A and B are shown apart, each in its own frame.
Chain A
Amino acid sequence: MSTTALEAEGPLCGGGSPLVTKLETVARLTGEDRLALAALCEDPRDMGARRNVIREGERPDHVHLMVEGWAARYKLLPDGSRQITAFLIPGDFCDFHITILREMDHSITTLTRAKVAYIPRSKIDEITERAGIARAFWWATLVDEAVLRAWIVNVGRRDAFEAIGHLFCELYVRMKNVGLTTDHHFELPLTQEELGDALGLTPVHVNRVLQRMRADELISLKSGVLTIHDYRRLEAAAGFNPNYLHLADPPGLI
């Protein structure tokens, strides 16, 4: 994918805007669209790791957009355990239409140090008057729902090995789409506990699967960097089909 055109058009978030990188792989955006999108990433808040972006019960006044770093959507259970229902990476909206609702029914936390854009609803209303952008945002929203469906299948039907493999394939493809992979490795700053909270597994179980994947020479995970040594074999073992991410290659799907 090319970000050259964008870099030429303005500094703003420039070629580094993950939102533009993500959307322009599928959407036909004009130069003005790109500028308007990049402007959304302007002036994000710097946040530390494991800080709440918004908590269950709070009123959502802003749409949150990940500019840098990782976050998670989660639900706390009465016994204090946590189910993670989404990992949010650069270019992901935490919840595009959330300001329509009166209060949050779940929480969002950063997992790493992060830059998060807090976008007022009025700005979203303004920018979605552009037809190309409105369509691109609908695409992003539908893909978020498709990812959630894939996670339900993962948690409900796959064993631990397949489920972790599936999640790794998905995160690889999503990170690649925003230009954050190099060859077959990328930053995966998740602890085994966080992986377990996403998949309904205990940390020891996650650990055991990771060690087995490593022994099988499928992956290695060291210092927060995941390397997939044999993507095709991992994809086959996990039953991963990237169709639900609705990526276009070549660009210009919608």
Chain B
Amino acid sequence: MVKRTVPRFFFHVFDDVVIHDDDGLELADAEAARRAALAGARSLICDQVKEGRLKLHHRIEVEDEAGVEILALRFGDAIEIETDRL
């Protein structure tokens, strides 16, 4: 068995309930983890919108294997919002 050298990142989702990720995902590097968090936030937002709500303060926090937070992404920062009302 070849020892895996791919780093693992943990994606804790803070929405209606706090979901602590104990399993993590194997990704090439921190940049890949950032892209995964962005895509993940956008797809979680889709689920919210389908139910007729959008909670922009929900967030995903990404930790590396050492438990160091490398990113905190608010859903509101994962999308551009345009409106004609200020």
Which A residues contact B (CB, under 8 angstroms)? 159-160, 191-193, 201-205, 207-208, 210-212, 215, 221
A208 adjacent to B11 (CB under 8 Å): yes
Contact yes or no, A204 B23, CB < 8 A: no
When distances are taken between beta carbons in the complex, the residues of chain B under 8 Å from A212 are 17, 19
The chain B residues found within 8 Å of chain A, CB to CB, are 11, 13, 17, 19-26, 36-37, 39-44, 47, 50, 60
Quick one: which of B11, B13, B20, B43 has the most chain A CB within 10 A? B43
- Pick from A160, A207, A215: contact of B47, CB under 8 Å: A160
CA distance A191 to B24 in the complex (A): 11
Q: Is the interface of B mostly helix, strand, loop or mixed?
A: mixed
Given contacts A159-B47, A204-B25, contact A215 B19 (CB under 8 A): yes
15 cross-chain CB contacts under 8 A: A160-B43, A192-B25, A193-B25, A202-B36, A202-B40, A203-B25, A204-B11, A204-B25, A208-B11, A208-B19, A208-B40, A211-B22, A212-B17, A212-B19, A215-B19
How far, in whole Å, are A191 and B36 apart by their CA atoms in the complex? 14
Chain B residue at minimum C-beta to C-beta distance from A208: B13
Which residues of chain B have C-beta atoms less than 8 A from A208's C-beta?
11, 13, 19, 21, 40, 44
Distance (Å) between the CB of B44 and the closest chain A CB?
Answer: 6
